[in-house]
Amino acid sequence: MTMSGGPGAWMAMRGYMTDESVKNQRLAKGTVRRIMSYASEFKLLIIGYLVTLVIDSLLVVSQPLLFKRIVDKAIPSGDTRMVTNTALLIALLSITDAALGVVIRRMQATIGEGLIYNLRSQVFDHVQRQSIAFFTRAQTGSLISRLNNDVVGAQRAFTSTLGGVVGNVISLGVVVSTMAILSWKITLAALFMLPVFLIPARFMGRKMQEYTRDQANLNSVMATQMSERFNVSGALLMKLFGKPDREAELFADRAGKVRDVGVRIATANTVFFTAMMLVGSLATALVYGIGGNSVVSGSLTLGTLLALVALLGRLYVPMAALANVRVDVMTALVSFERVFEVLDLEPMVQDAPNAHTLPRGSSSVEFVDVNFRYPTADEVSLASLEGIARPDVAVSEDLILKGVNFTAQPGHLIALVGPSGAGKTTITSLVSRLFDPTNGVVKISGHDISRVTQDSLHDVVGVVTQEAHMFHESIRSNLLYANPEATEEQMWAACTDAQIAEMIRDMPQGLDTVVGDRGHRLSGGEKQRLSIARLLLKAPDVVVLDEATAHLDSENEAAVQEALAIALKGRTSIVIAHRLSTIRQADQILVIDDGEVVEQGTHEQLMAKAGLYADLHNRQFAEVENSPVFSSEPTESA
């Protein structure tokens, strides 16, 4: 009889594949207590799970003892009834053991999947509430890893690790005790074989740790190439600048390394399991040798020998698994700690404890002595989520905005102009509270927006950015994202006002047309008009436009400007102007330079001052007039 190589053997091998470096990590104080708080919801189920494990572990020794009874008592006495009843009892215990296995797996899955659900939901909800500064630093892959790998690793603390430790301790205790009662000499001989198994296994374990680390890193590199090349922007860059043969060669090289390490892992696995089976066979031979002589001499019964051999097959796997129990436990605890690290990062922008609802209606916007600097990495992010981005921690402490003061009256159009990097986008970001001022106050309708709920603020303020982002969903879904309660008629009305209804009607699937990754199936002008339709469905009181027509051709710009005229009508508007010709009718123009409002007034007033605005205006129109497209000089053909 050889040692079992089933699920228990795999659990032992998994322990050798885990990285022992986790043993050197120091857990934050209170981590274990915090983990136990997550167990409270499953307390009764965990107790039932552990009790079932105990019962199942006790069944481990029952069948070998029944074998002994048949061989030593029933057969020699010729008691066919005892043979039959014992055989039926063995069959019944086998069925019970199988049923308990299903129950244990069901309980394990219920606890584990329930925990994964709770942790994933909590982490997702927490991450989506982080400020935009967090997302500008964190790597998307690292965030997804926290929601997947670390959450799954954490749930093992309540399933694989917890169940494995309890089950293996009980099984080992029961098996060793039973074997010692049957024959302490043979039990000692079997235990002396343990180093023959553990020493080579530990060596293979270190190799497996090295291989699995390499495999994870190589898979990550290969996945990164696929992720970067197969999104729409990456595919476009690859088509324009890349060489298919070079890309294929690079991928093949990386895939080849994954293949090679996979072969090494498969070989190491085979060696490990072969070693387990070999040691089991050697131990079985030892027990048969010693026990057989004892049977011949009459100091041991044949049934006892068979029972010992059967129990021997259940001895080494629990020992191997428990040899790495500290690594398994620490791996689970470290995964929990990495999840807690994200949950403990407080969003920079969040509702005040006594936040109130911002009322709807025509709204003024006021900046009162506003200063602003961008937050440092330590204030908004985690080093473990930034990867290669984190070394750049030396963020300038200089103010981006310095004492900004202005008021946008209800229904007025305020234009922001100035050189690149002057702080225009930062001002619009403060209106929608993507950031909070370092000093000063931003008010809407007289309410400090840091004292109102973010939900109500987002109902009042609508934004159209320079790059209109669309989800890889239908036009309908992208529109309803702004107003889930909107009717079909309201969506078509918004699309009509946004000058895009005709284009949507020409599509075979109409509103159900999928726009593609980031909306790349639509042109730039179509995306912008669709984002304006989304804005109209939201029906905000304040509209912020961040150079919404900056990258459009003249035809698309005309259509978008027509749509914007409808969107801005009757609303307080703050517009970053790319082309100064588009904001001549603004009620007030603010000229921003180096984070300060250096000029303000109407177009005529600012031109009369002959300051920075006039200089920007004259320079822009001079460039247009002197460009080859708009040149008034006669050509040779003329």
Q: In angstroms, rounded to a whole number, what is the distance separating the alpha carbons of residues 6 and 318?
A: 12
Give 199 or 122, the one with higher predicted confidence.
122
Query: What is the model's pLDDT at position 388?
Result: 47
State the average pLDDT over residues 44-70. 86
Q: In angstroms, rounded to a whole number, what is the distance separating the alpha carbons of residues 136 and 357?
A: 28
Domains of the chain: 7-343 (1.20.1560.10), 365-376+398-471+516-626 (3.40.50.300)
Sheet with 439-444, side-by-side order of all strands? 401-408, 365-372, 439-444, 447-448
Query: What is the model's pLDDT at position 232?
Result: 67
Query: What is the model's pLDDT at position 398?
Result: 80
Whether pLDDT at 602 is above 80: yes
Provide the b/e sequence for 174-185 (b: ≥16 CB within 10 Å): bbbebbeebbee
pTM value is 0.72
The pLDDT tens digits for 272-291 are 777 777 777 888 888 888 98
Whether pLDDT at 231 is above 80: no
Choice among 33-47, 119-133, 166-180, 228-242 with the minimum mean pLDDT:
228-242
State the average pLDDT over residues 193-197. 70
The Cα-based distances of 335 to 35, 156, 483 in angstroms read 11, 9, 38
Give 484 or 367, the one with higher predicted confidence.
367
The Cα-based distances of 144 to 116, 126, 152, 251, 337 in angstroms read 14, 13, 12, 23, 16
Helix (H) or strand (E) holding 325: helix 325-343
Structure tokens at 42: 């499953």
366 pLDDT tier (thresholds 50, 70, 90):
very high
268 pLDDT tier (thresholds 50, 70, 90):
confident
Whether pLDDT at 407 is above 90: yes
Q: In angstroms, rounded to a whole number, what is the distance separating the alpha carbons of residues 83 and 76?
A: 10
Query: What is the model's pLDDT at position 357?
Result: 93
Burial tier of 156 (Cβ tally within 10 Å: 0-12, 13-18, 19+): buried
Structure tokens at 48: 């039932």
Query: What is the model's pLDDT at position 460?
Result: 92
The answer to whether 595 touches 423, Cβ cutoff 8 Å, is yes
State the average pLDDT over residues 74-86. 89
N-term to C-term CA, the chain:
102
Kindly tell me the sign of the dihedral angle through the C-alpha atoms of 594, 598, 602, 603.
Answer: negative
Query: What is the model's pLDDT at position 409?
Result: 93
φ and ψ of 88, to 5 deg: -65, -40
Structure tokens at 463: 């934004």
Strands (E), 288-378: 365-372
Instruction: Choose among 586, 548, 607: nearest CA to 415.
Output: 586
The number of residues making up the chain comes to 638
Choice among 34-43, 101-110, 419-428, 488-497 with the minimum mean pLDDT:
34-43
Whether pLDDT at 10 is above 70: no
Instruction: Choose among 288, 215, 206, 218: nearest CA to 251.
Output: 218
C-alpha dihedral, 323 to 326 to 329 to 332, nearest 10°? -100
Query: What is the model's pLDDT at position 636?
Result: 36
Residue with the two structure tokens 């999840």: 339
Burial tier of 563 (Cβ tally within 10 Å: 0-12, 13-18, 19+): buried
State the average pLDDT over residues 204-233. 72
The answer to whether 603 touches 584, Cβ cutoff 8 Å, is yes
Query: What is the model's pLDDT at position 328?
Result: 66
The answer to whether 60 touches 101, Cβ cutoff 8 Å, is no
Query: What is the model's pLDDT at position 320?
Result: 67
**Strand 542-546 vs strand 588-593: parallel, antiparallel, or unpaired?**
unpaired
Q: In angstroms, rounded to a whole number, what is the distance separating the alpha carbons of residues 104 and 385?
A: 36
Query: Cα angle vertex 555, ends 550, 556, to 5°?
Result: 50
Whether pLDDT at 136 is above 90: no
Instruction: Choose among 270, 547, 257: nearest CA to 422.
Output: 547
Q: Which of the residue ranges 138-152, 331-345, 373-387 has the most confident prediction, judged by mean pLDDT?
A: 331-345
Q: How many CB atoms lie within 10 A of CB 426?
A: 21
Whether pLDDT at 14 is above 60: no
State the average pLDDT over residues 565-580. 83
Kindly tell me the sign of the dihedral angle through the C-alpha atoms of 288, 290, 293, 298.
Answer: negative
The pLDDT tens digits for 439-486 are 999 999 999 999 999 989 989 998 888 777 888 889 999 999 888 899
Whether pLDDT at 426 is above 50: yes
The answer to whether 171 touches 314, Cβ cutoff 8 Å, is yes
Instruction: Choose among 532, 568, 524, 572: nearest CA to 550.
Output: 524
The pLDDT tens digits for 148-162 are 777 777 776 666 676
Instruction: Choose among 368, 367, 363: nearest CA to 543.
Output: 363
State the average pLDDT over residues 532-558. 77
The Cα-based distances of 556 to 242, 469, 621 in angstroms read 30, 17, 20
Whether pLDDT at 30 is above 90: no
Query: What is the model's pLDDT at position 631?
Result: 34
The answer to whether 57 touches 174, Cβ cutoff 8 Å, is yes
Query: What is the model's pLDDT at position 74?
Result: 87
State the average pLDDT over residues 81-94. 91
Tell me the average pLDDT of the chain: 80
Q: In angstroms, rounded to a whole number, what is the distance separating the alpha carbons of residues 23 and 11?
A: 19
Query: In 138-193, which residue ranges form alpha helices assigned H by DSSP?
Result: 140-145, 151-155, 160-182, 184-192
633 pLDDT tier (thresholds 50, 70, 90):
very low
Contacting residues for 54 by C-beta, under 8 A, at least 6 apart: 166, 170
Whether pLDDT at 548 is above 80: no
Q: Give rounded-to-5 percent helix, strand, coil for the chain.
A: 65, 10, 25
Contacting residues for 144 by C-beta, under 8 A, at least 6 apart: none
The pLDDT tens digits for 308-322 are 888 887 777 777 667
